[in-house]
Amino acid sequence: MSDETSSSGMIGEEKIVCQYVVKHAQKGIWFGDNPLQHDTSVLVLQIIVMYVAGRITYLLLRPCHQTFLVSQIVMVD
């Protein structure tokens, strides 16, 4: 079981497998890297969209004297 992400060897009669840590560095949108292919970027985008949608819902429900928490609950349902 030896490929580019792991290495194996024997110590005594026990087989030991070591796995390499693969780090993926983003080059950025200016170098042609698609930011939506990375988990962190998608998570940040989802958080921003949910916050903006909650604020818009709050602005629509403010004349009814509803709080921001109620607007977020209405938005999710």
Predicted confidence (pLDDT) per residue in 6-63, tens digit: 677 777 788 887 776 666 677 777 888 787 777 788 899 999 999 999 999 999 999 9
> In the structure encoding, which two tokens stand for residue 34, read together?
């698609």
Question: How far is C-alpha 72 from the geometric centre of its chain's CA atoms?
Answer: 21
56-74 burial by CB neighbour count: b if 16+ within 10 A, else e? ebbeebeeeeeeeeebbee
Model pLDDT, residue 1: 47
26 compared with 74, residue with greater pLDDT = 74
74 compared with 6, residue with greater pLDDT = 74
* β-strand partners of 8: 17
pTM over 0.75: no
> In the structure encoding, which two tokens stand for residue 36, read together?
């939506």
Say if CB 61 and CB 68 are below 8 A apart: no
